[in-house]
Structure 1
Amino acid sequence: MGKTQITQITPFDFVSALILGELVGNAVYDKEITISKVIFAVVVWGLLIFVTEILTQKKKGLRKLLEGEPSIVIRQGKIDYKVLKKAHLDINQLQHLLRAKGIFSIRECQYAILETDGAISVLRKSSYSSPTLKDLNMPPSRVTLPVTLIMDGQVEVDNLQMIEWDRDKLFDEIRKHGIHSEKEVLYAEWKEGEPLHVQRY
């Protein structure tokens, strides 16, 4: 699992750990099972987990299936009830997660993203940022959400359409960084009014 913390494990990792514990626990209390069988079961299950981890890193579709994907539960300052319901989250739970991030009113939040591990990531409205523009008597600026365009060498087509870009536009931008293929890019992020952020492998 690498440097993944206990709070960051996915449901699949959690179930895998439980099954591994059951394999060892049942073997310890069953007199008919020898130590070689225990080692064999642990090695086989460990290899399955390892192979699955490798596949989820390589295959985007499998990653979504086993690990899920983040959900935007607050968009442009408004709660997306359909997404909230799909995530089996109620308003009280959402408020609890927001308070843990120091936000005590939903009106302070521009975007809130429910991560795959159940944590929430929040982007405040510009007028509630620290120090706040309100305190400085300055007009609030428009808040936009950064959009990932390339991840692990693969173009995020849905995100590309969201910002009304096509592949030609994207490749024109990454060529400015001396890159000729998306396979060379670990991560590329778009944000309105700023140059494309690109990181190579």
Structure 2
Amino acid sequence: MEFVRIATDLIVGFVSLLIITKIMGKTQITQITPFDFISALILGELVGNAVYDKETGIFQIVFAVVLWGSLIFCIEIITQKFRRSRTFLEGTPKIVIHKGQIDRDALKKSKLDLNQLQHLLRGKGAFSMREVEYAILENDGSISVLKKAPYSQPTRKDLNIEGPLIKLPICLISDGEVIWENVKSIGYDENWLQDQMKTLDVGTYKEIIYAEWKEGEGFYAQKA
């Protein structure tokens, strides 16, 4: 019975966390701030501790997750509606290199030392301070770098070269599963896809690990 209780609590906690994560949106991962990080840790701890607490039932787990998720959601709404609250709740990006010069005050306020700064710069392909014109420490701890003109990559506009129109490839098959809505979105049907399979000499879609279609380049696939 103890294993059944733990399994039930884990499943309920998992589903609750999944729902809360979906509601919170992708910014919880892609643009995570220190506050978001701490919130995510506590949310996981609530479920983790409750699972092994015999006095805590399913309803208590759901209540704790929903309440904490609601508080986080309210904070997100506040930061969206009231611009002035973002500085306090999310922080502000800081310019740590300005016109090629390191801003020591900005580094101290951000609790960032020179070695950490160099590490972040190398991650952006800047292996020398002399290459950097501006560096901005973002709220999530990442850094954005604008290199000086001699060290930046030239663009087609700089070289006066007209480039082709960019076309987005459409995934049609992933791990042997056909994404039919994508097939229909490009104006084709199952008969067309079957014809493509014949050119690859395969019997079933399961034999294809990945396939895509791109305007101007046609069908492309790799066998499993």
Q: Say whether the fold is shared (TM-score over 0.5).
A: yes
What whole-Å deviation, never above 9, does each CA across 1:70-125 have from its counterpart, x for those lacking one?
00000011000110111111111111111111111111111000001111101111
Partner SS, residue 102 of structure 1: coil
Matching residue's letter, 1:12: F
TM-score under structure 1 normalisation?
A: 0.62
Match of 1:86 in 2: 109
Matching residue's letter, 2:61: V
Match of 1:51 in 2: 74
What whole-Å deviation, never above 9, does each CA across 1:138-173 have from its counterpart, x for those lacking one?
xxxxxxxxxxxxxxxxxxxxxxxxxxxxxxxxxxxx
Q: Whole-Å Cα distance in 1 between the matches of residues 75 and 49 of structure 2?
A: 24
Match of 2:151 among 117, 125, 128: 128
Q: 1:96 to 1:7 in 2, by over 3 A?
A: farther
Match of 1:24 among 5, 22, 47: 47
Q: Whole-Å Cα distance in 1 between the matches of residues 92 and 35 of structure 2?
A: 13
Q: 1:121 to 1:52 in 2, by over 3 A?
A: same
Q: Which runs of 5+ in 1 are unaligned?
A: 137-201
Match of 1:183 in 2: none
The structure where helix makes up a greater share of residues is 2
Partner SS, residue 110 of structure 1: strand
Q: Whole-Å Cα distance in 1 between the matches of residues 146 and 37 of structure 2?
A: 29
Match of 2:136 in 1: 113
Partner SS, residue 40 of structure 1: helix
Q: 1:44 to 1:57 in 2, by over 3 A?
A: same
Match of 1:76 in 2: 99
Q: Does 1:13 align with 2:36?
A: yes
Q: Which runs of 5+ in 2 are unaligned?
A: 1-23, 160-224
Q: Is the 8 A contact 2:28 2:36 kept in 1?
A: no
Match of 1:155 in 2: none
Q: Whole-Å Cα distance in 1 between the matches of residues 115 and 49 of structure 2?
A: 40
Shift of 1:127: 2.1
Q: How many residues in Structure 1 have an aligned counterpart in Structure 2? A: 133
Shift of 1:5: 6.3
Partner SS, residue 27 of structure 2: coil
Partner SS, residue 60 of structure 1: coil
Shift of 1:8: 2.7
